[in-house]
């Protein structure tokens, strides 16, 4: 096989593994999202470094759930400085500061936390803070990687040990899946994480319909009538979710 074929084959294998080993956890996440939306809560999504892309994956997406609040803190993202974001995600106390400045999930909400390694302080402290405040949490992480490494938080905990629902992305330790000579390339956590998230979103739409609740879903702005529908949602929630 060519290298692209090999990589695609590995993605297919991982998707199949996630489907057959994580279906119970995914269903729990679906119920958590449906419960949140039914009671008027908000879906929060947070990740540092490359994991912030999963928060964006849920937000303002054609065919995606409307009431999503992505926690996009620029210093923790890559465009301000890649190595700097790596340093900051290991900084104890950062999460508490983040959630004391206008971002205040409560028990009606659900917070998704993304971290492949699950070992750095900011995601761990986010999960711990939510637990203290009675806010349900869902994480997507690499359980094998996380189980085999030490925590970078003073508690000694890793992300999977703190969240209410844990979904394993089933990736390899170190994320990269392709061995090419002396190099390992081809991370999988973003591809698999995005697929997991969209499966949860679709499941939540189905669950809400089964409960007799009308789901709120964005349309593409590039189809006729999409802008009109989307603007109604933006007008409804832009004070609550400023990024809209």
- What CATH number should be reported for the domain holding residue 199? 3.40.50.10490
Residue 33 belongs to a domain: yes
Which residue range forms the structural domain that includes residue 205?
3-237
Indicate the burial class of 15 (C-beta count within 10 angstroms; 0-12, 13-18, 19 or more): middle
Residue 95 has pLDDT above 90, yes or no: no
What CA–CA distances, in Å, run from 14 to 10, 50, 169, 236? Answer: 6, 19, 8, 39
Residue 106 belongs to a domain: yes
Partners of 46 in the β-ladder: 71, 113
Residues counted in the chain? 244
Confidence band, pLDDT 50/70/90 cuts, at residue 86: low
Side-chain-side CA neighbours of residue 169 (13 Å): 35
pLDDT (mean) for 171-199? 96
- pLDDT at site 90: 65
Residue 46 belongs to a domain: yes
pLDDT (mean) for 57-84? 85
Residue 102 has pLDDT above 80, yes or no: no
Residue 59 belongs to a domain: yes
Strands 176-180 and 68-71: unpaired
Average pLDDT, the chain: 92
- pLDDT at site 118: 85
Query: 195-233 pLDDT, tens per residue?
Result: 999 999 999 999 999 999 999 999 999 999 999 999 999
Q: How far apart are CA 27 and CA 35, in angstroms?
A: 12
Confidence band, pLDDT 50/70/90 cuts, at residue 93: confident
- The CA-based angle 11-206-10, given to 5 degrees, is 5
Report pTM: 0.94
Q: How far apart are CA 243 and CA 227, in angstroms?
A: 17
Q: What total number of domains does the chain contain? A: 1
Confidence band, pLDDT 50/70/90 cuts, at residue 81: low
Q: How far apart are CA 244 and CA 232, in angstroms?
A: 11
Residue 244 belongs to a domain: no
Residue 146 has pLDDT above 70, yes or no: yes
The secondary structure of residue 223, as a DSSP letter, is S
């Amino acid at each position: 096989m060519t290298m692209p074929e090999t990589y695609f084959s590995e993605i297919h294998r991982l998707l199949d593994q996630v489907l057959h080993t994580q279906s119970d956890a995914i269903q729990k996440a679906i119920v958590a999202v449906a419960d949140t939306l039914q009671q008027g809560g908000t879906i929060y999504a947070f990740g540092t470094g490359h994991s912030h892309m999963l928060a964006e994956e849920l937000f303002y997406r054609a065919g995606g759930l409307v009431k999503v609040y992505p926690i996009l803190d620029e210093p923790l993202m890559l465009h301000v400085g890649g190595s700097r974001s790596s340093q900051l995600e290991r900084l104890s106390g950062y999460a508490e500061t983040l959630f004391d400045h206008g971002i205040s999930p409560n028990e009606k909400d659900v917070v998704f936390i993304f971290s492949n390694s699950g070992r750095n302080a900011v995601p761990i402290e986010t999960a711990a803070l939510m637990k203290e405040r009675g806010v349900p949490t869902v994480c997507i992480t690499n359980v094998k990687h996380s189980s085999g490494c030490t925590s970078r938080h003073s508690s000694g905990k890793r992300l999977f040990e703190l969240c209410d629902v844990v979904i394993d992305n089933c990736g390899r330790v170190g994320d990269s899946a392709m061995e090419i000579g002396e190099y390992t390339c081809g991370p999988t956590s973003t591809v698999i994480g995005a697929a997991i998230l969209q499966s949860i979103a679709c499941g939540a739409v189905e669950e809400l319909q089964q409960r007799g609740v009308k789901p709120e879903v964005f349309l593409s702005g590039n189809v006729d009538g999409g802008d009109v529908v989307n603007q109604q949602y933006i007008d409804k929630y832009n004070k609550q979710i400023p990024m809209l």
